């Protein structure tokens, strides 16, 4: 109980961590502070220390933490924007963490960040992963577009891409949680009779899926996950939430494997329709089944999409491209200070 109370308090304001951070600022005097995930150890209160010290901030957004207390905009059943539209207290009213004290803590810390307007007041440059996230941050958080840059994740392209036309199943890779839409893929597989293979991260419980007779791999290394990708006709990303990038989609593409993805959120950016993969209506198992059958019956199309996907990863997600965009963001921030 003491640990939970401490975590709750630190999620609102972490005095020890902030004092240490302020001392480090004074000692090092950096040109820029680049922040990433701030909860629960630091919190956005550190922005005020940076501003007082005259140090600009670049902040990377990997999820929807700025506009949603639980960072997903999904309530377990559907896309949800209640907190963004009507106030953070809805996270408590709907018990979004499925634990009332946790839901209260998440709602309160989100409300405090909103009341203090931490992000708009202090951050000079935001970095997001896709055009969708850029537009979302602008529309939902009121961040000016000229303060938001897009820099996708770095994903290395495999030097020996596979022939996906020879793939023996449709793969799923991700957590076994409602917003990932795994049930939609299972239903589509039953409609088509086509094989699927499910990969979950270490710590996932495969028992409910195994009980249904589904093949499951709990991946303990990048190599074991890559083996699942490389045996697939396509990766299916049936997400019911917006996603902010979908790393698994880019990872599969890096091996020359096309992706069938929900037509929702950032998946429209990461997976390019009819170029690196196909899209389907989110939550619509019949529509997904049609796209699965299309790739299964057309190996040439599968190969074409896979080859373009591999080339897309080399061009868009390389370390050099990512590094240059990051340096450009830093230069823009420093240039604005010199003006």
Q: With contact defined as beta carbons under 8 Å apart, do 175 and 204 qualify?
A: yes
Q: Which residues, 6+ apart, have CB-to-CB distance to 142 below 8 Å?
A: 120
Two structure tokens written together for 67: 């506009």
Q: How far is CA 301 from the centre of its chain?
A: 28
Q: With contact defined as beta carbons under 8 Å apart, do 158 and 151 qualify?
A: no
Cα separation, 310 vs 305, whole angstroms:
9
> Mind giving me the DSSP string for 92-148?
HHTTTTSSHHHHHHHHHHHHHHHHHTHHHHHEEEEEESSHHHHHHHHHHH---GGGE
> Mind giving me the DSSP string for 151-174?
-PPP-PPPSS---GGG--SEEEES
312 — pLDDT class (breaks 50, 70, 90): very high
Look at residue 27 in the predicted model and tell me its pLDDT: 95
Cα separation, 187 vs 157, whole angstroms:
31
**105-144-148 Cα angle (round to 5):** 80
Judged against a pLDDT cut of 80, whether residue 3 lies above it is answered with no
Look at residue 122 in the predicted model and tell me its pLDDT: 97
Question: How do residues 72-99 score in pLDDT, each as one tens digit?
Answer: 999 888 899 999 999 999 999 999 999 9
13 — pLDDT class (breaks 50, 70, 90): confident
Q: With contact defined as beta carbons under 8 Å apart, do 111 and 88 qualify?
A: yes
Judged against a pLDDT cut of 80, whether residue 64 lies above it is answered with yes
Helix, strand, or coil (residue 319) = helix
Cα separation, 51 vs 65, whole angstroms:
21
C-alpha distances in Å from residue 329, one per residue of 25, 32, 113, 155, 265: 21, 11, 24, 20, 24
Cis amide prior to 40 (ω within 30 degrees): yes
- Mean pLDDT over the full length of the chain: 94
**Residues forming a β-bridge with 200:** 218
Judged against a pLDDT cut of 90, whether residue 11 lies above it is answered with no
Helix, strand, or coil (residue 44) = coil
C-alpha distances in Å from residue 224, one per residue of 31, 186, 200, 247, 312: 41, 22, 11, 16, 23
Look at residue 6 in the predicted model and tell me its pLDDT: 62
Question: How do residues 313-324 score in pLDDT, each as one tens digit?
Answer: 999 999 999 999
Question: How do residues 21-35 score in pLDDT, each as one tens digit?
Answer: 999 999 999 999 999
Cα separation, 281 vs 273, whole angstroms:
13
Question: How do residues 200-213 score in pLDDT, each as one tens digit?
Answer: 999 999 999 999 99
Q: First-to-last CA distance in the chain?
A: 51
């Amino acid at each position: 109980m003491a640990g939970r109370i401490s975590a709750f308090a630190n999620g609102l304001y972490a005095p020890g961590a902030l004092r240490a951070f302020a001392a480090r600022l004074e000692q090092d005097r950096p040109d820029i502070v680049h922040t990433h995930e701030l909860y629960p150890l630091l919190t956005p209160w550190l922005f005020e220390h940076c501003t007082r010290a005259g140090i600009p901030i670049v902040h990377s957004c990997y999820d929807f933490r700025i506009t949603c207390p639980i960072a997903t905009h999904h309530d377990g059943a559907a896309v949800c924007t209640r907190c963004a539209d009507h106030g953070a207290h809805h996270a408590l009213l709907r018990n979004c963490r499925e634990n009332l004290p946790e839901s209260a803590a998440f709602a309160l810390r989100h409300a405090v960040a909103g009341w203090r307007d931490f992000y708009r007041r202090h951050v000079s440059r935001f970095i997001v992963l896709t055009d969708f996230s850029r537009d979302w941050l602008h529309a939902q958080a009121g961040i000016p577009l000229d303060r938001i840059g897009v820099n996708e994740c770095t994903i290395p392209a495999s030097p020996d891409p596979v022939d996906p036309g020879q793939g023996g199943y449709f793969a799923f890779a991700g957590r076994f949680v409602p917003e990932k839409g795994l049930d939609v893929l299972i239903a589509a597989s039953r409609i088509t009779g086509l094989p699927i293979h499910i990969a979950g991260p270490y710590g996932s419980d495969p028992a409910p899926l195994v009980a249904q007779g589904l093949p499951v791999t709990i991946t303990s290394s990048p190599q074991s996950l890559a083996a699942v990708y490389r045996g697939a006709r396509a990766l299916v990303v049936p997400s019911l939430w917006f996603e902010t990038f979908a790393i698994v989609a880019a990872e599969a593409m890096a091996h020359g494997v096309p992706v069938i993805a929900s037509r929702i959120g950032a998946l429209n950016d990461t997976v390019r329709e009819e170029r690196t993969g196909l899209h389907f209506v989110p939550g619509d198992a019949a529509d997904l089944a049609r796209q699965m059958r299309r790739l299964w019956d057309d190996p040439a199309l599968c190969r074409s999409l896979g080859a373009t996907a591999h080339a897309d990863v080399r061009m868009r997600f390389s370390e050099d491209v990512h590094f240059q965009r990051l340096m450009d963001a830093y230069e823009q921030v420093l240039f604005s200070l010199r003006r």
